[in-house]
Amino acid sequence: MRILGIDPALSITGYGAIEATKNRFLLLEAGIIRTSAKDEQTLRLDKIYSEMMELIADIKPEVIVLEKLFAHYRHPTTAYILGQARGVICLAAQRSKVPMVEYAATRIKKSIIGRGLAAKSQVQKMVQSQLGLTSLPKYTDVTDALALAIAHSYISRTANIVKA
């Protein structure tokens, strides 16, 4: 299964694409979409949308995975801005006719580490191990996106076993 994980944000959106087969993962591509704070917000959102459309066309994922939006009441503006970035990513998925799924951060951590409250460093090391990376990606956004893709592989495999 070809899975594209996305860690959305307005400044740096991380992405990671893997090919998942039984117990093996092949890293296809990973990186970031960076926008400049100097640009107008509409231009930044357009860049995320355009680059997502290109990524989807190049990678041809079977599914796109996002982390569910978590909003803290002390930072409503952050949730608002994040929601806009997520919105253009959802639009790109819909326009490309690629199914999209979302998981809570605790579900991602539980499927990768076995504990929903695992530390970010534990998730990073597990992603590095699962993909056979010699070093961690420069941006944690990329590691988070790859964790989403890997977790979806585990979760969807478990769901298929339960259905059978």
Q: Which of 51, 67, 102, 144 is catalytic?
A: 67
What gap in Å lies between CA 79 and CA 56, rounded to an integer?
25
Q: Is 102 marked active-site?
A: no
Q: What is the 8-class DSSP label of residue 114? A: S
What gap in Å lies between CA 83 and CA 100, rounded to an integer?
15
What is the number of residues in the chain? 164
Q: Which of 39, 51, 58, 141 is catalytic?
A: 141
Q: Is 58 marked active-site?
A: no
What gap in Å lies between CA 36 and CA 39, rounded to an integer?
6
Cβ atoms of 70 and 12 closer than 8 Å: no
Q: What is the 8-class DSSP label of residue 24? A: E
Q: Which of 7, 29, 58, 62 is catalytic?
A: 7
Q: Is 39 marked active-site?
A: no
What gap in Å lies between CA 149 and CA 143, rounded to an integer?
10
The catalytic site residues sit at: 7, 67, 141
